[in-house]
Structure 1
Amino acid sequence: MGRIKFTDNLEPFLEMVQDKTNLSMNQLANICGTNRRSFSDWKNNKYSMPQEIFNKLIRISKLDPPKFKILPDFWHIKEAAKRGAINRNRIYGNPGTSEGRSRGGIATCRKFRLNPLLAKKLGFGISKDIALPKKSSRLAELIGVLLGDGSISDYQVRVYHDSETDVEHAFYVADLFQELFSVNPTLSKIKNENTYCVVISSINLIDSLIKLGLKRGSKIRQGTDIPVWIKRKKEFLKACLRGLMDTDGCFYIDKHKINGRSYYSPCLVFTNHSPILLKSVLSSFQRFNYGPTLNRHKSIFIRRKENVIRYFSDIGSSNPKHVKKFRSYSKLCKN
């Protein structure tokens, strides 16, 4: 049987039963096969009353039943599940969104790290050791990418791309992570945003990146800069600049007419809100004689045609978007 939920307070009904039967609360409890504590709880509306007890009280008191509704068996499970789902979503996020899955993954990693035996029992692998890769141009380029559009939290590394123009570069970055650190990134589009994200959940990867000179959290607040080991070697610095320009840089063609004739001027622009990083990129471009200029809008420009062409010749780009635009410019110059 189910349980009874009364429209009004139950206390008056129980008092009427006592008056009608001339029985004490203890006596009623004995007749109903329960204890006085339960009657007190029902009287105070702490719990709902079993339908069997309610029917017995009506039968022995011969009272007209008050307004009530019958709650089916296991009625409380749905409500408990609803409350549990609300609390779960509050802690871990909605599992139906990329943000919710991210928060759930982070919480799971934390739980398994504290209890490796549980992870093994459930068939989950514990974070494996990651060997620190040899310092190279490929690694320096990846560092540049992370300095540009990357983020490092306590549990995840992310690199953000424009989902309309930079998806090919996102796959290139994912391949770099796999090649250098033997990790398997996931790639996904963030819902309701034009953002394509490369994600790696690995504490050991984060520790390796910290050793290589990067920092967790906000790059501006943390004062993140191009690591010293990259600045010391021209080959590494050029690769790092490539990674920075492929994420936070752009190439465009300025078209203008003089005396009816069309002229096309190429321009490279690097934009970043970190004063420290801007200063390093500016000095690096100066070091390679690219003639950079810095404006008050936190952007560095390379405007002279010969310097832009030399940039693509010496440093180049791994972002197909920039390569295609530069090829278009080259064709315009030939025509």
Structure 2
Amino acid sequence: MPLIIIGVGIKYSVDEDFFKNWDSTTAYVLGFIFADGNVCISNRGKYLVVSSVDREIIFKIKNWLKSEHKICSKKPNWPNGKTKFVLRIGNRFIYDSLMLRGLYPNKSLTIDFPIVPKRYLKDFIRGYFDGDGCVYVEKSKGQGERFIVKRLTIVFTSGSKLFLIGLLEALRSNLVIRQSKIYKSNRSFQIRFSTSDSIALFKYLYGNLESEIFLRRKFDIFSYYFRLRFTRVDNYIGDILRCFCKVPYPSG
């Protein structure tokens, strides 16, 4: 059922069955929606809304959903803020499918980690990371004003502590990580991973991908770190980087 109606006489096409079956793309998009999306009901219908300051990922999601809906840009309300790109899809079948996957309106503070098939768990987590995660390289000045790379850090953020508890349990069941603490910040909860844990996460999230189902900007931060700390690159990491880096990555 590819046809939907918004308002009176306005018809847009979208893949209404997108969330009914699991695959890598579906799991990734679902993870991103758990981070930077929401479902809502108005007097005009049921909606999925996905937003990001990264234009690239919103257009990817629109294409994956085979959506003809327009992407709107929303200007920031404060100086130095970033423009946000918003995809709003009115469709009761998509809404109902997402509800079955564990989403609901006003989810931010209470959402639980959903049931995801193990085969697609890393895709879901990578989608969530691209929405509400961050990665950064910390540097400091050494002798002769040269910068020394100190650490690579991955952070997952959520308004729901329950969600992060489930995320941490899911990660522990699939790889060896040392992090075990969830931190409370002013408006949310966070999990922060050390360099060794962040490298293990990189290998888990990006290994054995058949296509570029990720946000390029965040992947490039990992690539930047490994170029600075080449001794951290093993054969597995090297294969990932050579597969997806825009600039050819050295081998050997």
TM-score, reference length from structure 1: 0.55
Q: 1:190 aligns with which of 74, 78, 81?
A: 74
- Measure, in 1, the Cα distance between the counterparts of 2:14 and 2:52: 28
Match of 2:203? 313
Asked if the contact 2:108/2:158 (under 8 Å) is kept, the reply is no
> Residues 100-111 of structure 1 correspond to what in structure 2 (within 5 A)?
109=7
- Measure, in 2, the Cα distance between the counterparts of 1:185 and 1:313: 35
* 2:172 equivalent to 1:279: no
Match of 2:98? 209
Q: CA deviation at 1:160?
A: 1.3
Q: Which 5+ residue runs of structure 1 have no aligned equivalent? A: 1-105, 113-118
> Residues 286-301 of structure 1 correspond to what in structure 2 (within 5 A)?
286-287=172-173, 288-292=175-179, 293-297=181-185, 298-301=189-192
Kindly provide the CA deviation profile for residues 249-276 of structure 1, in whole angstroms up to 9, marking residues without a partner as x.
0010111356777233100001111122
Kindly provide the CA deviation profile for residues 199-256 of structure 1, in whole angstroms up to 9, marking residues without a partner as x.
21212211122223322x11146x332322x0xx322221111111000000101113
Greater CA drift, 141-150 or 294-303: 294-303
Change (3 A) 1:323 1:271: same
Change (3 A) 1:250 1:127: closer
Q: 1:331 aligns with which of 212, 224, 227?
A: 227
Match of 1:145? 32
Change (3 A) 1:125 1:321: closer
Paired AA for residue 184 in structure 2: R
> Residues 71-220 of structure 1 correspond to what in structure 2 (within 5 A)?
109=7, 112=8, 119=9, 124-125=10-11, 130-131=16-17, 133-154=20-41, 155-162=46-53, 166-178=54-66, 183-193=67-77, 194-215=83-104, 217-220=105-108
> Aligned with 1:219: secondary structure?
coil
Match of 1:270? 156
Asked if the contact 1:177/1:185 (under 8 Å) is kept, the reply is no
Change (3 A) 1:200 1:129: closer
Q: CA deviation at 1:301?
A: 0.9
TM-score, reference length from structure 2: 0.71
How many residue pairs are counted as aligned between the two chains? 204
Paired AA for residue 144 in structure 1: G
Change (3 A) 1:188 1:328: same
- Measure, in 2, the Cα distance between the counterparts of 1:263 and 1:127: 48
Match of 1:249? 133
> Aligned with 2:137: secondary structure?
strand
* Higher CA-based Rg: 1
Change (3 A) 1:128 1:289: closer
Asked if the contact 1:127/1:203 (under 8 Å) is kept, the reply is no
Higher relative contact order (CA 8 A, sep 6+): 2
Q: Which 5+ residue runs of structure 2 have no aligned equivalent? A: 78-82, 207-212, 232-252
Change (3 A) 1:169 1:220: closer
Paired AA for residue 277 in structure 1: F
> Aligned with 1:246: secondary structure?
helix
> Aligned with 1:170: secondary structure?
helix
Greater CA drift, 153-162 or 189-198: 189-198
- Measure, in 2, the Cα distance between the counterparts of 1:197 and 1:129: 18
Asked if the contact 1:270/1:299 (under 8 Å) is kept, the reply is yes
Asked if the contact 2:13/2:68 (under 8 Å) is kept, the reply is no
Asked if the contact 2:14/2:65 (under 8 Å) is kept, the reply is no
Match of 2:194? 303
- Measure, in 1, the Cα distance between the counterparts of 2:91 and 2:160: 26
